[in-house]
Amino acid sequence: MTLSASDLYAIEARLGARNYKPLDVTLTRGEGVWVWDTEGKRYLDCLSAYSALNQGHCHPKILAAMTEQAQRLTLTSRAFRNDQLPLLYQDLEKLTGAKMILPMNSGAEAVESALKVTRKWGYEVKGVAPDQANIITCSNNFHGRTLGIVGFSTDPLAHNNYGPFAGGFKTVPFGDFDALAAAIDNNTVGFLVEPIQGEAGVLIPPAGYFKRVRELCTEKNIVLVLDEIQTGLGRTGKLLAQEHEGIKSDLTLLGKALSGGFYPISAVLANNDVLKVLQPGTHGSTFGGNPLASAIARAALRVLVEEGMIENARVQGEYFMSQLRTIKSDLIREVRGRGLMIAIELQPQAGGAYKYCERLRDKGLLAKDTHVNTMRLAPPLLIQRAEIDFACEALADLFK
């Protein structure tokens, strides 16, 4: 017997921790850019699991790689070698030019790993005195939910009542070069930043900001850590968002879409020797780099490139934004974005984006509000014009 959506909801309301307030829709199936609820109603997915589904739902080639690998070998731990992880290393090297790679599982783990490595590098290579290292982060950042990370979150919901927190972090405004320059001291070992702040509402820094940041980090001998967990893997119309800025990080963090939407995997990619501070026993993860995740990630990367999804994100993203900008409404403050990472910021008098997301759901489009007044639109990267037109019609109808 299958349970109805309301039966399922009753179970969730009774037993589930209340750390999410999902839109009232219960999904049971997905294919490409579309998902279906338990009543058989179809929706266009304009969230893509926060960009973990860049390749779309249940991509057949990733599914085939997963089932094939799942029948052979799923987990060895890193106590033994497996025959898949080196192939993933090689693919990532080919795609990004990375010189050394650390596989982990969740995005937050990749961030934590990069912070640990940056500190260790600070002590062992840069020569900072014991326990004196600091790492600079940005206001309105989102880097995940672990204790270390929420310590330097400026979002009260993420931060409050989880202390005491680890020291050694400073905060500067995002996109403010002078503030960064002023915050650096002799003990600064790293700067952790998102190329575009996603959860903050798709905030794009001023042109030229990252070029100057790159130069400053090189000059001051500071590890530039770019969190591309959301912006990476085609989302902004380039493989990595840092390509728009013409720069290379020291450490790049990948997660989300590296999974192809199937199985969590994240990675720290190094463009230099920083990761060499890790020696056997100094860091690890039971599931990190397992053969199942590696095979899935390889397929996820392969379809992204082979099926032209990165270029499609650029082309369709421009089309999507140009169509959204034709919607004339006093309730819309701004449409902004890059590639298929798009936000519609509403005026305060609109009364918050959540209720508009509910009305979009009724029209067959799933989107998510962020920071009260912003609605984020980030469909899978294989979206086509007709589907964008469908989305724009629903949105135009909403704001007319």
By CB under 6 A, name the binding residues for ligand PLP.
50, 106-108, 111, 142-144, 194, 198, 227, 229-230, 255-256
Question: Which candidate in 142, 177, 191, 262 is catalytic?
Answer: 142
The token pair at 188 is: 């600064």
CB nearer to ligand PLP: give 138 or 398.
138
- Gap between the Cα atoms of 268 and 171, Å rounded: 22
CB nearer to ligand PLP: give 126 or 143.
143
Among candidate residues 79, 142, 104, 143, the one with its CA nearest the CA of residue 259: 104
Examine the residue annotation and report whether 256 is marked as an active-site residue of this protein: yes
- Gap between the Cα atoms of 376 and 394, Å rounded: 15
The token pair at 66 is: 């997963």
The residue number with the shortest CB distance to ligand PLP is 107
CB nearer to ligand PLP: give 91 or 194.
194
Question: Which candidate in 174, 256, 368, 369 is catalytic?
Answer: 256
CB nearer to ligand PLP: give 101 or 196.
196
Smallest gap from Cβ 235 to ligand PLP, in A, equals 10
Smallest gap from Cβ 248 to ligand PLP, in A, equals 18
Among candidate residues 113, 177, 103, the one with its CA nearest the CA of residue 144: 113
Query: 3-state DSSP call for residue 137?
Result: strand
Examine the residue annotation and report whether 120 is marked as an active-site residue of this protein: no
Examine the residue annotation and report whether 142 is marked as an active-site residue of this protein: yes
- Gap between the Cα atoms of 338 and 198, Å rounded: 11
Query: Which amino acid would we find at residue 257?
Result: A
Smallest gap from Cβ 224 to ligand PLP, in A, equals 15
CB nearer to ligand PLP: give 150 or 357.
150
Smallest gap from Cβ 108 to ligand PLP, in A, equals 3
Question: Which candidate in 45, 91, 174, 227 is catalytic?
Answer: 227
- Gap between the Cα atoms of 375 and 46, Å rounded: 10
- Gap between the Cα atoms of 114 and 277, Å rounded: 11
Smallest gap from Cβ 19 to ligand PLP, in A, equals 12
Q: Output helix, strand, coil percentages for the chain, rounded to the nearest 5.
A: 40, 20, 45
The angle, 0 to 180 degrees and rounded to 10, between the axes of the packed helices 309-324 and 385-398 is: 30
CB nearer to ligand PLP: give 229 or 267.
229
- Gap between the Cα atoms of 275 and 250, Å rounded: 10
Smallest gap from Cβ 49 to ligand PLP, in A, equals 9
**Catalytic residue ranges:** 142, 227, 256
